[in-house]
Amino acid sequence: MTALRTSAETASGTAVLRLGTRASVLARTQSQTVADAITAATGTPVELVHITTEGDRSQAAIAQLGGTGVFVTALRDALLAGEIDLAVHSYKDLPTAAAPGLILAAVPPREDPRDALVARDGLTLGELPAGSRIGTGAPRRVAQLRALGLGLEIVPIRGNVDTRLGRVAGLGGPGGGAGDLDAVVLARAGLSRLGRLAVITETLDPLQVLPAPAQGALAVECRTSDARTRELLGRLEDSRTRACALAERTTLGTLEAGCSAPVAAYAEVAEGEHGPELFLRASVTAIDGSDGVRGSLSGPLDDAASLGRTLAAELLDRGAAELMAVGR
């Protein structure tokens, strides 16, 4: 773990919050957004502390690195050691089990959670000819793209956003890639945070490709014992985003699956007869795209976790566990 620290106080004596972040451009951008929001809401200065994780050091596939938590462990270790005061994670990267001594102090408002296609010649998914090479590193996307039956060749990829974009033929860009792919699929939220929405050729309908649980949401974590930081971070909380993420991730956790499993879940808040309701959808798809199960439920926001457990149980009754084992 590599951490760069500066003073914990300003000249006026105001305590500075040390925010741990991965050093990638996207992680730093997300963390700076949270840092600016904390300062705007509380007047408290925040400094970024760059921490290198195992996921940043390796170019191996996420599943080969151990799946869930590969980008999280070093940040959590730094928190527990008192080297930083808070950490910002992409919520979908967090293990579903709670970390002893740490608390999810805030879930800020969510970006658009859908997946996005970036293709050569401005093509949409349906316009890509059979045999087109599509890059993605997520088993969930691999499974769902294969299930569409479009005859696409799915190519596993890793790397930052610009590296992935650089591999799209004719796109080039700062990554300077080889242009060996016809398209890549990325989270729309990451492109939005980097100001790269213009490269998107199609935002994928969840009816085609359902997003990852908690995709587009950020998780702001601190020590359970740190009352001051917990209070400050609480001002960033968006209760609807937390409820959606909780429903989605409870589905994932009840399925006993991690971020390297072909599981998708997406919750939205809509007005029901008795006020706001959650509408939760989830799916499990065999990695080869040969079969899949989908389901949906709706209910009060306060029942988010219960909805997730119930929907996961329904999917398990319909063979989800067997589907997750296909191709392993």
Nearest-angstrom CA–CA distance, 223 and 151: 48
> Two tokens at 99?
């970390």
Which residue in the list 93, 115, 182, 226 is annotated as catalytic?
Answer: 93
């492109």: which residue's tokens? Answer: 191
The C-alpha atoms of residue 202 and residue 7 are separated, in whole angstroms, by 45
DSSP letter at 98?
Answer: P
For 76-79, which contacts have Cβ atoms below 8 Å and span 24 or more sequence positions?
Answer: 76/102, 76/221, 77/1, 78/1, 78/3, 78/20, 78/49, 78/51, 79/20, 79/221, 79/222, 79/223
Known catalytic residue at 112: no
Tell me how far apart the alpha carbons of residues 76 and 55 are, in angstroms, rounded to a whole number. 14
d(CA 128, CA 133): 9
CA distance 46 to 31: 10
- Euclidean distance between CA atoms 266 and 113, whole angstroms: 8
Residues with active-site annotation: 93
